[in-house]
Amino acid sequence: MTLHHRQQQSLLSNSDTNNTDSYRSTDTEYNNSQADERVPETSHLSSTTETFFHIVCITAGTGILQLPYALKSGGWAGMAYIALAAAISAYTGKILVRCLYYKHGVRLQSYSEVAEAAFGPRGRLVVRTLKDVNLLGVVGIYIVLAGISIDSLVVGTPVEQFGERFWIAASAVVVWAAIVAARQIHDVFVLSIFGTLTTVVMVVIVIWLGVLDLEFMHARPPTKAIDIRMMPISLASICFSFGGNLNWPDLEASMKSPKKWSKALSLATTFIAFIYACVAAVGYGVYGGHVRSPIFLSLPSGIAVSIAKAMITAHVLLACPILLTAVFIEAERDLNISSNTLGVFKERLWRAVFRSLLMLVIALFALFVSDFSKIVPILGAVAASLVVFVIPYDLSVSTYSPDGRVFQVEYAQKAVDNSGTAIGLRVKGGVVLAVEKIKHSRLLVPNSNKRIMTAGKHIGVASAGWMSDTRHLVKRTRDEAHNYHDIYKTNAPAKIIAERMGMYVQAYTLYSAVRPFGVSTILACIDEDGPQLYMIEPSGQYVGYRGCAAGKGKQAAKTEIEKLNLEELTVREAVKEAARIIYAAHDDAKDKLFELELSWICEESNNLHTHVPQDVLDEAIEHAEKALDDDDEMEDDEE
């Protein structure tokens, strides 16, 4: 057996190493105006105004009371953190809703389903757990805070003797009554209005009392511009005050006009950032380094502070039913609790029973777990930070992570790496393509699942990755070649086709409403410049090669290709070497059946892309099997 060797030969073509410039395609941009048409049949009853109140009521909670203290930790730079956290929260909220529409004609129904589409069942489980822990924990804390606040407000009244636990239990009953009575988010619209109004009243009282208190101060306490050492604590406190993204899929689904979601979210987040900034600036500006958390502890006592406490107590109780809808709606969907399957009466009965049981568990934890109010904020802060600020990076194909990675593109490459091996060899007089087709069933008809296709008379395409994506890209390649021929009356050069396909593939890495192609394609051609070979990756990068490989056995195949003297190999020899390399790369998966597919473009095929004749294929397979046996015997002799 004669083999031609060249130590570590460069596989890149000298003239065809190419570009990865960014291109945008208007055809693939997410169009939120189509949301109404793409959402399944549901009851979209909430207006943009109602959605605005829902967002404000959910987000602007007790976190507002600790913002002056957050500025005390980080200095006046915390005002910039408020704007930054608001911008990030709004942006990730829009990304999340866009991800619901990643597949044309289908709307995912929850954050968890988006996670499953991106990461699989395990990803859904992780995100679902984080979401439920955060929301249920927050509701539990709100009930505890409401009970404690009510207990402090009734001091000196006949009901003072009831104690904190009674008021915590009473708060839980109020939340239970609201959540059992409400079926969907739009049913608690009145609660959102009152919740927002209580927040506004509380903010006005805090600002008013702070400004009045300033007049009686002989000297204003000192403040600082920035504290680098305490900056992380300040930023964490501010970011925690913008948690709310977990409810966004349900809020958007309840809208009459989902296309107005971005507008509603932007307006609500801007309003929240404004009232946050007002409370933070007044609290820190007036009390400086002496400010306490919550801000009520720094304000002069009196009827106004009591009213403010009553307002924030009312707010947290009104927000609880809205927060719980994100948990209940998804859980009831999974349990198939609906009028379509159970009928109206049974559906209402089972919904009431399910929600009552879950509220009972929350109430028992709030009443009898002594460290509940200490443990849950820590878990909630971690969960909220992940699901609001971190995970959307993984869900979105168009967003860089903090270390400069686009995870969805990397995951697309994983689909390629888990596929059968595909290689291409550009040799003297032609190009050879070879693919290892894993046979997942003995019932498959031979040659029915082709991974090497003809994209034009003189163009062949081999692939590693998702077969459905391959067919789509091959069709696009055919269209590009046909259009070029119609315009210029000549066959398209390989570089032009590779460039256009690279641009097309890269466009699918730019927008949140689409996913990258999970396939690497090897494009072979003979044009006026002779044999050409390109590989187009999921990122859209396209490069000219003398020899290339993709798929599970890529590294082993590349090692073998680098040993070949490709410039001296004939096409017939290249066919045998391609078969040998595929068999060698498959050697690590001996337990899996596979089928070898070979094609070429050369003088023997009249410079047209065709699969190799059966006799040539049989000869190549015989050569590959003999080479594999020789290698095994050599290893046995060495042992």
Q: What is the CA radius of gyration of the chain?
A: 32
pTM value > 0.75: no
Residue 435 pLDDT exceeds 80: yes
φ, ψ of residue 435 to 5 degrees: the values are -135, 140
Max distance between CA atoms of the chain, in angstroms, equals 103
Degrees (nearest 5) of the Cα angle 177, 183, 184?
A: 120
CA distance 94 to 107: 15
Rounded to a whole number, what is the distance in angstroms from the first to the last CA of the chain? 23
Q: What is the mean pLDDT of residues 442-467?
A: 88
Which is more confidently placed, 425 or 410? 425
Give the model's confidence band at 402: pLDDT under 50 very low, under 70 low, under 90 confident, else very high: low
- CA atoms of 437 and 155, how far apart (whole Å): 78
Tokens read off for 392: 């959307």
Mean pLDDT, residues 519-529 taken together: 94
| pLDDT, position 407 | 79
Highest-confidence segment of 83-97, 148-162, 172-186, 516-530 = 516-530
The C-alpha atoms of residue 631 and residue 625 are separated, in whole angstroms, by 10
CA-to-CA distance for 311 and 89, rounded, in angstroms?
A: 25
598 near 575, Cβ under 8 Å?
yes
Q: Which helix (H) or strand (E) holds 366?
A: helix 344-368
C-alpha separations of 123 from 108, 246, 280, 514 in Å: 15, 15, 37, 19
Q: Please tell me the least confidently modeled range out of 5-14, 300-309, 314-323, 364-373.
A: 5-14
Angle between helices 571-586 and 614-638 (to 10 degrees): 50
Helix (H) or strand (E) holding 501: helix 494-507
Question: How is residue 442 written in tokens?
Answer: 């003995």
Distance CA 622, CA 102 (A): 47
DSSP β-bridge partners for residue 432: 425, 600
Tell me if residue 294 falls in helix, strand or coil.
coil
pLDDT tier for residue 397 given thresholds of 50, 70 and 90: low
pLDDT digits over 97-150, tens only?
888 887 667 788 888 888 887 777 877 888 888 778 777 877 887 888 788 888
Q: Measuring CA to CA, how many Å separate 143 from each of 181, 209, 247, 431, 603?
A: 18, 27, 19, 71, 80
User: If you average pLDDT over every residue of the chain, what do you get?
Assistant: 80
Per-residue confidence (pLDDT) for residue 28, from 0 to 100? 35
Q: How do residues 356-379 score in pLDDT, each as one tens digit? A: 998 888 888 878 765 554 554 455
Domains parsed from the chain with CATH numbers: 38-396 (1.10.4160.10), 412-638 (3.60.20.10)
Structure tokens at 86: 């608001």
Average pLDDT over residues 607-635: 86
3-state secondary structure of 427: strand
Residue (of 430, 421, 432) closest to 577 by Cα position: 432
Whole-angstrom distance, CA of residue 524 vs CA of residue 521: 10
CA gap 196, 566 in Å, rounded:
72
